[in-house]
Amino acid sequence: MRSALVNESSDMVQQHPNYVVRITGDDEIGQKEIDNFIDVEERFPVIATTSKLLTTGVDTKMVKLVVLDANIGSMTEFKQIIGRGTRIREEEGKVFFSIMDFRKATNLFADPDFDGPPIQIYEPGPDEDPVPPDEPIDGGDNPSPPPRPTLPPIDEDQEVSKYYVNDVPVSVVNERVQYYGPDGKLITESLIDYTRKNIRNQFSTLDAFLAQWNKTEKKLVIIDELAENGVLWEALREETKKDLDPFDLVCHIAFDQPPLTRKERAMEVRKRNYFGKYGEEARKVLEALLDKYENEGIVSIESNEVLRVQPLNEIGTPVQIVKTFGKKEDFEKALQELENEIYNVA
C-alpha cells in the first residue's frame, strides 16, 4: 500500500521523503515517525499506512481522512478507529473528518450495538429546564465534554461539477451517502431508493398522488406528511442539484416523470397568458405571487402572511389586495387557479 501511494505521489515524495510512511510494529523507520505523525505542528508525514495504529490508543489529533481497506468484525475495534477521526481541533481548522471505506465496514454504524443504551436519560419536569445541567461523567470529577463546535458556513452557490485526477477529467460512477431517518435508524441504501420506497408506501401510483395533491388545499399538509414518513427534502434537493418543487421531486423520484424546475413552471404559466382575464391590479398581485413561487416555492404563496411580505406588501395592504379580486373567497379562488396553472402540465 505504501509503495502504491509513493508511486502515485512521486512529486511530493521527491520533495519530502517522509510524505508517505508505513507505521507498523516491525518497521523501525515508521516507528521513528510516529511522534511526527501525531504532532499537530509537524507537517510530515501526511499519509500513514498501518494495520493497527488507530486501534492502539495513539492520539492522532489531526487525522482528517480515515481509509478502511481491511475487514473489521469487531465493534470495539471499529469504534477505536472511528474515534481517532473525532478529535476536533477547531483552532487548526479541523471541524470534521471523512471515512473512505472499501470493505463496507461502515455498515457497523447501522448496528444497534454501535451506540448502545444511553448512559443517562434526562426527563425534565414541567417547570424544569429542557436542557440537562452539566454534570460529571460516571460520577467522577470530570465535567461533561463541551458542545461540538459550529461548522463553518457552507457556500450554497458553490457547485463542484467536474473532478480531475492528474489533469484527466473523471466522473463519479457511484456514490453512497448515509442518512439518519425520522425513526433514528441509519439509512444505508441510496437516498433515491429510500425515498421512492417511502413515497410509494403512501401513494402507490402517480394518479393517487396527483389526486391527493390536487384536492389538498394546503400543499404543506402533504409535504409534512411525507417528511414524517421519511422523505428528506433538503437532502433530496442536494442530491438532485436542481431547484425542484416538492411536487416535481415526488413525481420524478417515485414515478420517473421528467421534472420541471420552479423557474420552468413559472415560465409556462406566463407563456399561456393566463393573467389576461384579470384586471390590471389583480394581474400585478398574481404576477407577484408567481414570482414568489419561482423564488421560494409553493408553500410561500400559501402562507397566511404572504400578503404582508415582499413583494406583495409593495402593492398594497392585505385588505386592499383582496378587494382587487372582490371578496376574500374570490381571492382564494384566484390563488387556487394560479396553483392549478402552475401544475397544469402535470
Residues 6 or more apart whose Cβ sits within 8 Å of residue 29: 21, 22
d(CA 286, CA 281) in angstroms, rounded, equals 9
Q: What is the pTM of this model?
A: 0.54
Instruction: Give the Cα separation of 170 and 163 in Å (integer).
Output: 6
For residue 28 the three cell numbers come to 523501525
Which DSSP letter does residue 276 get? G
- The residue ranking higher by pLDDT, 240 or 199, is 199
* 325 alpha-carbon distance from chain centroid: 41
Segment 213-224 mean pLDDT: 92
Report which of 305, 304, 270 is spatially closest to residue 287, judged by C-alpha positions.
Answer: 270
60: nearest Cα among 29, 26, 27, 97: 97
Q: Please tell me the predicted confidence (pLDDT) of residue 67.
A: 93
> C-alpha grid cell for residue 269?
404559466
The arithmetic mean of pLDDT across residues 240-250, rounded, is 89
Task: Write down the pLDDT at residue 277.
Answer: 87
